[in-house]
């Protein structure tokens, strides 16, 4: 839908909206087929099959969330999610190719080959739960929340209008029905699409306390869509940012990937810094940034610029690289401290990496399938400076050579090291084997010496 058509539609509907209520708006504004651009031909076949099957089983089912939002904005969604009044067990019974996942909020994954359609049951409001004095957690049969208000279990089911009120952002609470081809808007999502606003549904502080990750979603969608953040949605962000420390480190890993590897990493990072959302995730790196280390800020920004560019060009990216960039300033500082104590260069780097990664696991748990390549990328920074003999040829066969080489180029771009080494390695990769030999003979001897530090000897005891 073009900007002008959205504007025209909003003029027709503007008098029907007031400020979104916090829970369970009584009815939807229905946008008929001839007044929106969502079409079944733009919707994934698997998603249509899921909706049709649920309808045939007697259940309501809608395309919801980002799929509807992106189609209304004229884009092509990557994911198509379904909301229904069928329980997870009923959805599971309708699809043999499905499984129920999740504990905090149970959902069903319906698999079609390598493709997965996510199906959620309409969520409802929460009754006042009982309080367990032993752990300061409020509970009832289907929900639980901590003393601070964070939901740790959220399996209260309700109606479609309750479900809309329980979603996070107005622009993600639009529903499309393939029965009547209408879009249903319960909370003013069409208005905010037209006004390019990110607005949380309900009271922002309450919703952030229920799930602090919603603060990250606010900045992620603001960066992704280039929307402004609505005033009341924005106000508590910096004040409540420390609540992110209550989120499990494992969940945070996935959230960081969504934040920094979606193609708008630099803009997302800038918003995270503005609202204090980066510090709870990467406290050691933020400590260095607070000390106004220009090299640390520069290499992180350049790393995000490069990652955004690769994504725009449909080139592969790996979480290992961006995590290596974010933690490198801390690794480099600790490496220097260990070197100065007399430990040789490579063992000192191993120790530094171990200390940094162990501490980082407390806030963002990085799986070994990424932390091990990160260590190799960091170690290659020392090995790439030593090129004599067969070392250079052997390094070309290293499984993470390309990532280490890209990291070296990044350090040169950021001004952390003098330019030249990256260009040499680029030429060496492209050179004929005979030319490579000549290149190796021209390396200054001083450039190939690893840094060593004398161990401090204890004074000899007098005889």
Q: Is the pLDDT of residue 85 over 60?
A: yes
Confidence label for 374 from pLDDT (cuts 50, 70 and 90): very high
Tokens of 100: 């129920």
Per-residue pLDDT tens digits for 212-226: 999 999 999 999 999
Lowest mean pLDDT among 158-172, 369-383, 448-462: 448-462
Coil/strand/helix, residue 5: helix
Torsion of CA 423, 425, 426, 432, to 10 degrees: 130
Of the pLDDT bands very low, low, confident and very high (cuts 50, 70, 90), residue 168 is very high
Residue by residue, DSSP assigns 362-418 as TTS---HHHHHHHHHHHHHHHHTT--TTTHHHHHHT-TTHHHHHHHHHHHHHTTSS-
Mean of pLDDT values over 405-433: 90
pLDDT digits (tens, 9 = 90+) for 45-73: 999 999 999 999 999 999 999 999 999 99
User: How many Cα atoms sit within 13 Å of 38 on the Cβ side?
Assistant: 29
Q: How confident is the model at residue 78 (pLDDT cuts 50, 70, 90)?
A: confident
**Residues forming the active site:** 79, 81, 168
Q: What was the pLDDT predicted at 187? A: 94
What pLDDT band is residue 293 in, cutting at 50, 70 and 90?
confident
- Overall pTM surpassing 0.85 (yes/no): no
For 48-52, 65-69, 99-103, 259-263, which range has the lowest pLDDT when averaged over its residues?
99-103
Give 440's pLDDT tier (boundaries 50, 70, 90): confident
Domains of the chain, with CATH numbers?
3-123+158-195 (3.30.460.10), 287-448 (1.10.3090.10)
Query: What was the pLDDT predicted at 138?
Result: 36
DSSP-assigned letters across all residues of 242-269: GGGGGS-HHHHHHHHHHHHSSS-HHHHH
The DSSP letter of residue 180 is T
Q: How many CB atoms lie within 10 A of CB 339?
A: 19
């Amino acid at each position: 839908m073009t900007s002008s058509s959205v504007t025209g539609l909003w003029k027709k509907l503007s008098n029907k909206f007031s400020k979104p209520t916090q829970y369970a708006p009584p009815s939807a504004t229905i946008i008929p087929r001839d007044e929106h651009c969502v079409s079944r031909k733009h919707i994934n076949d698997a998603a249509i099959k899921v909706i049709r099957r649920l309808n045939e089983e007697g259940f309501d089912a809608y395309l919801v969330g980002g799929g509807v939002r992106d189609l209304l904005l004229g884009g092509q969604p990557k994911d198509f999610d379904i909301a229904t009044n069928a329980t997870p067990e009923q959805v599971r019974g309708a699809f043999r190719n499905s499984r129920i996942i999740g504990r905090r909020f149970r959902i069903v994954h319906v698999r079609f080959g390598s493709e997965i359609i996510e199906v959620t049951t309409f969520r409802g409001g929460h009754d006042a739960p009982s309080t367990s004095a032993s752990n300061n957690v409020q509970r009832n049969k289907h929900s639980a929340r901590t003393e601070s208000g964070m939901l740790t279990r959220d399996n209260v089911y309700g109606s479609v209008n309750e479900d809309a009120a329980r979603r996070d952002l107005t622009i993600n609470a639009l529903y499309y029905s393939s029965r009547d081809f209408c879009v249903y808007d319960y909370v003013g999502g069409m208005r905010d699409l037209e006004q390019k606003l990110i607005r949380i549904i309900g009271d922002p502080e309450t919703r952030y306390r229920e799930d602090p990750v919603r603060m990250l979603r606010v900045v992620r969608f603001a960066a992704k869509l280039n929307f402004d953040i609505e005033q009341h949605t924005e106000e508590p962000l910096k004040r409540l940012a420390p609540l992110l420390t209550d989120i499990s480190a494992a969940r945070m890993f996935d959230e960081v990937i969504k934040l920094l590897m979606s193609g708008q990493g630099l803009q997302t990072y800038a918003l995270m810094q503005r609202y204090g959302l980066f510090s709870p995730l990467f406290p050691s790196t933020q400590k260095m940034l607070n000390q106004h280390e220009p090299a640390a800020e520069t290499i992180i920004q350049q790393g995000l610029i490069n990652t955004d560019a690769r994504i725009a060009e449909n080139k592969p990216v790996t979480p290992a690289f961006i995590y290596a960039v974010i933690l490198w300033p801390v690794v480099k500082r600790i490496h220097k401290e260990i070197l100065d104590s007399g430990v040789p260069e490579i063992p000192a780097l191993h120790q530094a990496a171990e200390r940094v990664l162990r501490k980082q696991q407390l806030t963002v748990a990085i799986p070994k399938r990424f932390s091990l390549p990160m260590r190799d990328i960091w170690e290659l920074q020392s090995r790439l400076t030593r090129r004599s003999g067969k070392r250079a040829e052997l390094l070309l066969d290293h499984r993470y050579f390309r990532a280490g080489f890209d990291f070296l180029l990044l350090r040169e771009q950021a001004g952390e090291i003098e330019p030249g080494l990256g260009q040499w390695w680029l030429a060496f990769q492209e050179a004929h084997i005979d030319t490579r030999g000549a290149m190796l003979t021209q390396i200054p001897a001083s450039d190939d010496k690893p840094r060593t530090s004398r161990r401090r000897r204890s004074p000899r005891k007098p005889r």
